[in-house]
Structure formats: structure tokens, C-alpha cells
């Protein structure tokens, strides 16, 4: 399949198809995922640090699906607006499985160099996700 940008391939293969190996192909070794933190509370840098975050979400939402609604390209930067759906069927995110469906939106801006994501800014509506899962936030 031919993708419009590496970011389109990222969402289709990594998230929709569950192809973890694509992370190594598309994320630069020192790529930074702004807005995504590891267990230490720091931004994730590189594929090895991104994979545990990825596995948590794929375990919690095995049917997770990203639909790219809009794309803007400005030089080396690609911005996509997404809708995200899934069913909370596993542990890893938001506690015990609730079997509830989520439908949230988000935006990702990625800086691409040599066909790889070197920097990504992520802004997804996690508050809405937690509310849809019935979580009480204080």
C-alpha cells in the first residue's frame, strides 16, 4: 500500500494493524514523543521506550482504530486530526477492563526526516476517554 506520509503509515500499520515492527522502521532512534510519558513521567524517546506505552494501549484496547480525518503538511511537518475508537477489554490502561467502547479525538503533529518520525506532538482527549470508561477523576 502507498501511504500519503510516514505518519499515515504509522497510524495504519502500528495502531490499526498492530504491527509493532513498524515502530522500529518509522521512529528515529532518538525520536521524541511529546505528550506521551513513560513510567518515570518523562517524555518517551526512541522506539524501545515507546513500545511499552504502545503495548499497554494495544492490550487495553485490542480493537483500537485510528481514522485520519484531516491532514495538513508544511515542509517536514505533518499534522493529522484523528478519531479513535476501541473497546476496553484488557488491563494496561485505566485499570480493570470495563468492556466499554470509547470514541475520542486527537491531533498529532510529526516532524519527518529521511522518512522517519524524529519528533511528534500528541494531543488526544484522554479526559473524555476516562469519562467514557466510567472513571471518577478528582
Average pLDDT over every residue of 67-83: 97
Going along the chain from its start, the domains and CATH numbers come out as 6-132 (3.10.450.50)
* C-alpha span between 48 and 55 (Å, rounded): 11
| Interatomic CA distance for residues 12 and 67, integer angstroms | 8
pLDDT reading at 79 higher than 80: yes
Residue 138 pLDDT greater than 80, yes or no: no
Question: Mind listing the pLDDT tens digit for each residue in 87-125?
Answer: 999 997 878 999 999 999 999 999 999 999 999 999 999
Give the confidence band of 53 by pLDDT, cuts at 50, 70, 90.
very high
Amino acid at each position: 500500500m502507498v501511504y500519503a506520509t510516514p505518519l499515515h503509515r504509522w497510524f495504519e500499520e502500528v495502531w490499526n494493524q498492530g504491527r509493532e515492527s513498524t515502530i522500529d522502521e518509522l521512529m528515529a532512534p532518538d525520536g521524541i514523543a511529546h505528550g506521551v510519558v513513560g513510567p518515570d513521567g518523562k517524555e518517551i524517546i526512541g522506539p524501545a521506550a515507546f513500545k511499552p506505552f504502545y503495548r499497554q494501549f494495544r492490550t487495553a484496547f485490542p480493537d483500537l482504530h485510528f481514522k485520519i480525518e484531516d491532514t495538513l503538511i508544511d515542509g517536514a511537518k505533518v499534522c493529522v486530526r484523528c478519531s479513535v475508537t476501541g473497546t476496553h477489554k484488557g488491563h494496561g490502561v485505566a485499570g480493570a477492563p470495563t468492556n466499554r467502547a470509547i470514541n475520542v479525538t486527537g491531533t498529532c503533529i510529526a516532524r519527518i526526516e529521511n522518512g522517519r518520525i524524529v519528533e511528534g506532538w500528541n494531543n488526544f482527549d484522554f479526559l473524555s476517554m476516562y469519562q467514557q470508561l466510567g472513571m471518577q477523576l478528582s
